[in-house]
Amino acid sequence: MIQKVDNAVNFETDTHILVMEKLCKSYQLGSVELRVLREIDLAITSGEYVAIMGPSGSGKSTLLNLIGCLDRPTSGDYILGGQSVSMLDDDELSMIRGRRIGFVFQSFNLINQLNIVENIQVPMYYQSFTEHESAERARELATLVGLGDRMKHRPSELSGGQQQRVAIARALANDPLIILADEPTGNLDSASGAEILAILNNLHDQGKTLIAVTHDEGIAEGAERIIRLLDGRIQRQEYNKR
Amino acid sequence: MFLFRFKRTIELGVKSLWMHRLRSTLTTLGIIFGVSSVIAMLAIGEGASRDAQEKIAQLGSHNIIIKTVKPPEEQTAGGQQQTLQEYGLTYADAERFRNAIPDVQVIVPNRRVSQQAQYRIHRIAVEVVGTVPWYTEISQVRVKFGRFLSSTDMHYKQGVCVIEERLVKELFGFDNPLGQDVKIASDYYRVVGITTEQARTQVAGSFEEKDATGAKKSGANLGGIYIPLTTVRDRFGEMSLQITSGTRNIEKVELQEIIVKVRNIDQVLGTRQSVQTLMNRFHKKNDYEITVPLELMRRAKEFQRIFTIVLGSIAAISLLVGGIGIMNIMLATVSERTREIGIRRALGAKKRDIIFQFLSETLILTLFGGILGIILGSSIPFMVTHFSQMRTVISVASLLLAFGISAGVGITFGLYPAYRAANMDPIESLRHE
């Protein structure tokens, strides 16, 4: 069952970009085993917009970390883009994160010493881009999220909404399979939040696969599918009609 | 691509160091002082040892020098009356060396007398050296103008002399000394040559001249006038009268020194044994002293080695302290930038990318410190030479060593913080505030 497949995704035979089979994650706290995720079965197709919701403690963040390849499951299998990633080592996981996942965080997580273009360049920096290519692409992306006139600014000189837009541009840098957003509007006022939602919806319309962990019903409404977690299990899945 | 990454890492390193200028400067100070002390100490040590070695080399590495010394027991037993002391090396000794020791190339017997030399109104204290024509073979003395003493001079006990270059100006002013007559004691000697010391002029620098004037003031190291040994024996005799605190001492000394030069450098120590044996047999009193420059040179080298080790370890300790300072700061930097590390890890940085990033920051710091240290370290010896008139030698090897050490310190003390940064859990570090 577990085997390394070639990096390329075969969309003709398998439209599932992400498959989780009986995925479990537990932490050892002293002598107590804390089971955070219990046998998660999940399949997400390319181009889907999925919202993961649930009360705190339901295992949302852990699931997000697993999807983002920041963590390894205790058991079960996780296949991302046709490649099993549950048994990869640290370097290979870093590679997958860089190439296949685009992160958007609640607190933006930009690097303050770098300007906007340089921040967008960071993911490309760890891949095989030349300096010129990456700078070019970073400028394009900055323009795409509407920050073409702020390219030399520092993150601290921008508003929250603008910072999150930079983060989205950064997430797009390596043209990932999945854009993974963790409460993308959580630190924003409603106006900026709406802007971000619009950008996300726009990306979805362009065919990007989006997975968002959120409390925000606004995001949930925009999503095609809502996965509700409770106590480490998928409680139910809802499909929004469009 | 790699070049881009490398360039970026360096840029980022410089940038983040620049953001904490004061901190970076203070941290670098440790390395600056460490490196400069390594260089300065090695330069001082090297200078001292070269000085010693050159002085010894002037004595000649193939030479064995036997010198007359006043036997100690006679000094106390002198009593109140007039005494005649007869001691020291003799012509017979020189003859015996020639006959008994096989590996000898030349034997130079010397008689040295302190005298006043006078030319017109100039009068200075000199050391009259009664010697033989082949004196030049065992010393660094070379003829600059005219000629050295000849065997004809020896045979006919001519009243000729060869003077050292440094006496020329004092004695003759601007006159050409060749062909002039110098009055020494009660006789006149015609100057036939001027000598210079080969080794000295080569190593000289401004400092060496200062040394010469300093020595002149203290009265030691008088300039020499070379006169044929036979002439000296004839005109000055072998007796000398000393009147000290009412006692009159008459001393009879034939030769002040005999210098034996062997053909091959590995015959030096063996020949020294033979000389010792011969001298023991014919000299009941302990009125001589044997000096072997080769042995001195070996001892000087050994001393230099110890000296270098001691100085080196002191400097190494200061570098160690500097290195610990750097490690401390880097650990602080790493924990300050935990979140950035988390972000980079999430965006695809491998552990080794993070290690590289922090290691290069440490390296920039230490190499920068190393370069400043080298600049400072190479200026310290100049100041030492200027103010204390000690000789210093900065070798290229010591500069390379210091630079290598600072890079080594950077890697050694940068590796652990970088390793720690790389091994942080990305999830934890993303959550870090």
Tokens of B292: 């072997």
Backbone angles phi, psi at B97, to 5 degrees: -60, -45
Rounded distance between C-alpha atoms, residue A155 and residue A142, angstroms: 13
Could B349 and A71 be called an inter-chain contact, meaning their C-beta atoms sit closer than 8 Å?
Answer: no
- Portion of chain B with pLDDT greater than 90, in percent: 21
Domain assignment present for A3? no
What pLDDT score does B200 carry?
A: 45
Closest chain A C-alpha to B350 CA, distance in angstroms: 5
CATH assignment at residue A163: 3.40.50.300
The domain in which residue A94 lies consists of 49-60+88-239
Q: Is B278 on the interface with A (CB under 8 A)?
A: no
Whole-number Cα distances in Å, A14 to A9, A37, A120: 8, 26, 31
pLDDT digits (tens, 9 = 90+) for A94-111: 999 999 999 999 999 999
pLDDT digits (tens, 9 = 90+) for B297-324: 888 888 888 888 888 788 778 888 888 9
Q: Is B431 on the interface with A (CB under 8 A)?
A: no
Cβ-Cβ contacts under 8 Å, B351 against chain A: 90-91, 94
A90, A95, A111 member nearest B343 (Cβ): A111
Could A134 and B4 be called an inter-chain contact, meaning their C-beta atoms sit closer than 8 Å?
Answer: yes
Could A90 and B350 be called an inter-chain contact, meaning their C-beta atoms sit closer than 8 Å?
Answer: yes
Domain assignment present for A17? no
pLDDT digits (tens, 9 = 90+) for A130-157: 888 999 999 999 999 999 998 999 999 9
Three-class HEC string of B132-149: CCCHHHHCCEEEEEECCC
What pLDDT score does B167 carry?
A: 86
Cβ count within 10 A of residue A144: 16
Find the closest chain B residue to A92 by CA distance: B350
Domain assignment present for A29? no
Three-class HEC string of B1-65: CHHHHHHHHHHHHHHHHHHCHHHHHHHHHHHHHHHHHHHHHHHHHHHHHHHHHHHHHHHCCCEEE
Domain assignment present for A92? yes
Could B351 and A94 be called an inter-chain contact, meaning their C-beta atoms sit closer than 8 Å?
Answer: yes
Q: Report the candidate in A201, A98, A114 with the shortest Cα–Cα distance to residue A151.
A: A114
B1, B345, B348 member nearest A130 (Cβ): B1
Q: In whole angstroms, what separates CA B118 from the centre of its chain?
A: 35
Closest chain B C-alpha to A240 CA, distance in angstroms: 31
What pLDDT score does B221 carry?
A: 58
B19, B342, B345 member nearest A113 (Cβ): B19
Domain assignment present for A161? yes
Tokens of B47: 């200078």
What pLDDT score does B198 carry?
A: 63
Cβ-Cβ contacts under 8 Å, B339 against chain A: 109
Cβ-Cβ contacts under 8 Å, B427 against chain A: 65, 70-71
What pLDDT score does A111 carry?
A: 92
- Portion of chain B with pLDDT greater than 70, in percent: 90
The DSSP secondary-structure symbol of A157 reads G
User: At residue A97, what is the residue type?
Assistant: R
Could A111 and B340 be called an inter-chain contact, meaning their C-beta atoms sit closer than 8 Å?
Answer: yes
What pLDDT score does B391 carry?
A: 84
**pTM > 0.80:** no
Backbone angles phi, psi at B332, to 5 degrees: -65, -45
What pLDDT score does B348 carry?
A: 92
Q: Is B344 on the interface with A (CB under 8 A)?
A: yes
pLDDT at B220 over 60: no
What pLDDT score does B352 carry?
A: 92
Cβ-Cβ contacts under 8 Å, B10 against chain A: none
Cβ-Cβ contacts under 8 Å, A68 against chain B: 346
What pLDDT score does B74 carry?
A: 53
pLDDT at A3 over 50: no
B12, B351, B430 member nearest A90 (Cβ): B351
**Position of tokens 């002013």?**
B173
A94, A114, A134 member nearest B345 (Cβ): A94
Q: Where would I find the beta strands (DSSP E) of chain A?
A: 16-29, 32-45, 49-53, 75-80, 83-84, 101-104, 178-182, 209-213, 225-230, 233-239
pLDDT at A117 over 90: yes
- Portion of chain A with pLDDT greater than 90, in percent: 68
pLDDT digits (tens, 9 = 90+) for B44-103: 888 888 888 787 777 788 888 888 888 765 555 555 555 777 888 888 888 888 888 888
Q: Which long-range contacts (CB under 8 A, 24 or more apart) does B395-404 make?
A: B395/B42, B395/B43, B395/B46, B398/B38, B398/B39, B398/B42, B398/B43, B398/B46, B399/B39, B399/B374, B401/B38, B401/B42, B402/B35, B402/B38, B402/B39, B402/B370, B402/B373, B402/B374, B402/B377, B403/B35, B403/B367, B403/B370, B403/B371, B403/B374
B8, B346, B353 member nearest A103 (Cβ): B346
Could A98 and B349 be called an inter-chain contact, meaning their C-beta atoms sit closer than 8 Å?
Answer: yes
The DSSP secondary-structure symbol of A8 reads S
What pLDDT score does A9 carry?
A: 46
Could B4 and A130 be called an inter-chain contact, meaning their C-beta atoms sit closer than 8 Å?
Answer: yes
B351, B353, B427 member nearest A71 (Cβ): B427
A99, A109, A174 member nearest B430 (Cβ): A109
Out of A43-47, A228-232, B332-336, B429-433, least confident range: B429-433
ipTM score of the complex?
0.91
pLDDT at A14 over 60: no
Give just the sign of the alpha carbon dihedral B193, B199, B202, B208.
Answer: negative
Q: Is B4 on the interface with A (CB under 8 A)?
A: yes
Domain assignment present for A117? yes
- B2 or B122, greater pLDDT: B122
Could A65 and B427 be called an inter-chain contact, meaning their C-beta atoms sit closer than 8 Å?
Answer: yes
pLDDT digits (tens, 9 = 90+) for B245-301: 667 778 888 888 899 988 888 888 888 888 888 888 888 888 888 888 888 888 888
Whole-number Cα distances in Å, B310 to B51, B307, B401: 19, 5, 16
What pLDDT score does B53 carry?
A: 79
**Sequence-separated (6 or more) residues with CB below 8 Å from residue A168:** A104, A145, A179, A184, A196, A199, A200, A203
Domain assignment present for A30? no
pLDDT at B204 over 60: no
Cβ-Cβ contacts under 8 Å, A110 against chain B: 343
What pLDDT score does B1 carry?
A: 61
Rounded distance between C-alpha atoms, residue A140 and residue A130, angstroms: 15
Rounded distance between C-alpha atoms, residue B128 and residue B227, angstroms: 7
Q: What is the mean pLDDT of chain A?
A: 88
Closest chain B C-alpha to A64 CA, distance in angstroms: 11
The total domain count for chain A is: 1
pLDDT digits (tens, 9 = 90+) for A181-237: 999 998 999 999 999 999 999 999 999 999 999 888 888 888 999 999 999 999 989
Domain assignment present for A55? yes
Find the closest chain B residue to A111 by CA distance: B340
